[in-house]
């Protein structure tokens, strides 16, 4: 079932898959791509959860609010999605990069709605000045010229590891196609609102009270295993897993490892029966 849900960050496309009597998980993808980056993981994840797959504002077929928005706005929009779908119990959050940032903020703002949190490829520190300047320059070029080849190639190279780019053309094509098809104005707004204004979430981590799994790939350029382990120390109930190979898009680049770790994490923190029945 696919829905369009009006939210404070614009109308969001929401795909609901799985049995109604299963516990619910919400999936939110990375910046620059869309919900297709979950396609390799959904067949396994849906065995354990009913999945609410959100396409973020300015991406895919989702709309744009017409103004700047924040990570807090995205978290509140996710709460509006859950209300629209009729979810009254707790959910398991699974976020990739941007989706992980939204999940951390959601856990702090809506603690009673969350059962567990999984983030993959999600740096919690703010941008360095050189990274911010580079992103700003590319954004200005993109806003003026659109997804010209060198901008599109830069996005693919940033999000995917060298190994994935060399040996998994289907993954590269998903990233390339999602970026090329995006609405230029809406994508520009997303990059400015979410990427260029990315805040340091380290102070938020102590407020995340639910069991939390941080994951990163060994080729992630901005979220090394060491950085992740240091951040996990600030979580009241956190753990960390490192997956060999991926960069930002762990669910797309290493779906078998990703789903194995997520399902094991869910099994270690099972849903209460009340959370299963209250969603219906």
Q: Under a CB-based contact definition with an 8 Å cutoff, are residues 46 and 16 in contact?
A: no
Q: Under a CB-based contact definition with an 8 Å cutoff, are residues 114 and 269 in contact?
A: no
At 206-262, the pLDDT tens digits run: 999 999 999 999 999 999 999 999 999 999 999 999 999 999 999 999 999 999 999
pLDDT band with cut points at 50, 70 and 90 for residue 277: very low
Q: Residue 126 half-sphere exposure, CB side, CA atoms within 13 Å?
A: 10
Q: Which domains does the chain have, with CATH numbers?
A: 2-277 (3.40.50.1820)
Question: Nearest-CA neighbor of 207 among 238, 249, 174?
Answer: 238
pLDDT band with cut points at 50, 70 and 90 for residue 78: very high
Spatial separation of the C-alpha atoms in residues 63 and 9, rounded to whole Å? 8
Question: For the chain, what percent of residues have pLDDT higher than 90?
Answer: 86
pLDDT at 280: 39
Mean pLDDT of the 75-91 span: 96
pLDDT at 271: 86
Spatial separation of the C-alpha atoms in residues 4 and 256, rounded to whole Å? 30
Q: How far is CA 18 from the centre of its chain?
A: 20
Q: Residue 99 half-sphere exposure, CB side, CA atoms within 13 Å?
A: 34
At 235-248, the pLDDT tens digits run: 999 999 999 999 99
Mean pLDDT of the 35-55 span: 98
Mean pLDDT of the 88-97 span: 96
CA 256, 258, 260, 263 dihedral sign is negative
């Amino acid at each position: 079932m696919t829905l369009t849900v009006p939210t404070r960050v614009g109308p969001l496309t929401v795909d609901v898959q799985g049995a109604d009597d299963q516990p619910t998980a919400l999936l939110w993808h990375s910046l620059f791509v869309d919900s297709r980056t979950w396609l390799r993981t959904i067949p396994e994840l849906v065995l354990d959860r009913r999945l609410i797959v959100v396409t973020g504002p300015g991406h895919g077929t989702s709309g744009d609010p017409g103004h700047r928005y924040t990570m807090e706005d995205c978290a509140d929009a996710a709460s509006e999605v859950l209300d629209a779908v009729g979810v009254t119990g707790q959910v398991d959050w699974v976020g990739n990069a941007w989706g992980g940032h939204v999940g951390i903020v959601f856990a702090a703002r809506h603690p009673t709605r969350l059962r567990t949190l999984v983030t993959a490829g999600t740096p919690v520190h703010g941008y360095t000045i050189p990274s911010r300047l580079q992103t700003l320059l590319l954004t200005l070029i993109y806003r003026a010229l659109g997804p010209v080849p060198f901008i599109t190639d830069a996005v693919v190279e940033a999000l995917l590891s060298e190994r994935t780019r060399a040996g998994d053309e289907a993954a590269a094509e998903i990233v390339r196609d999602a970026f090329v098809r995006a609405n230029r104005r809406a994508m520009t707004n997303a990059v400015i609102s979410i990427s260029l204004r990315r805040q340091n979430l380290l102070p938020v981590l102590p407020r995340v009270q639910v069991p939390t799994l941080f994951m990163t790939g060994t080729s992630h350029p901005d979220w090394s295993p060491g950085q992740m382990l240091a951040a996990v120390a600030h979580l009241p109930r956190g753990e960390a897993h490192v997956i060999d190979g991926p960069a930002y898009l762990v669910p797309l680049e290493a779906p078998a490892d990703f789903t194995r770790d997520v399902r094991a994490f869910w099994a270690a923190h099972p849903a209460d029966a009340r959370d299963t029945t209250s969603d219906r």
